[in-house]
Amino acid sequence: MAFWKAIDRLEGGLASVGAGLCLFLIMMITVIGVLGRYLLGMDLIPGGYNMIERMLFPLLVFWAVPLGHRQGTFPRFDILADRMSPGWARAVAVLVLTVEIVIFAVLLWYLWRFAWDAAQSARQMQIGTRLWPVWPVMLMMPLAFALMLLEMLRLWWEALAGRQAGNGDVQESG
């Protein structure tokens, strides 16, 4: 379906370009900071630690998590389901996904409220001697949770229909 391909491209772009760029910047800031501190005796990037801790690392995580969830790298409860009959395994899958969906929907609601309040108040943080806006980073949290919730809803629907999803492919269970 075109919708799921677009979502996959969005998640792939966020993970590869966004998270990859964040990882590269984290490495560069760390290397430059260490070289400046130990070779020159000075901080070459004032507030580098704050940049990493409060902006780059959260962006890296929240841009990579939806793709990781879609690709199935999150822990799943299939040890128990593998030992059950197909009917019981399907019922357990639907139950577990229902609980996950409820939890993630509640988290998404509160994250959205938190991010919206941060955007409305133009929340800032101090990095070095300057104030930087932090609300754009906070808006990435509900985006990541919304993408994961969307994937959970897809998996839930497939579990209800009696299909199994594996690495993006939908296969009939038999």
Cα distance between residue 86 and residue 84, in whole Å: 6
pLDDT tens digits along 21-78: 999 999 999 999 999 999 988 888 888 888 898 889 998 998 888 888 888 787 766 6
d(CA 163, CA 170): 7
**How high is the pLDDT of residue 169?**
42
pTM of the model: 0.74
65 with 30: CB under 8 angstroms?
no
DSSP 31-74: HHHHHIIIIISS-SSTTHHHHIIIIIHHHHHHHHHHHHHHTT-S
Angle at 4 between CA 2 and CA 6, to 5 degrees: 70
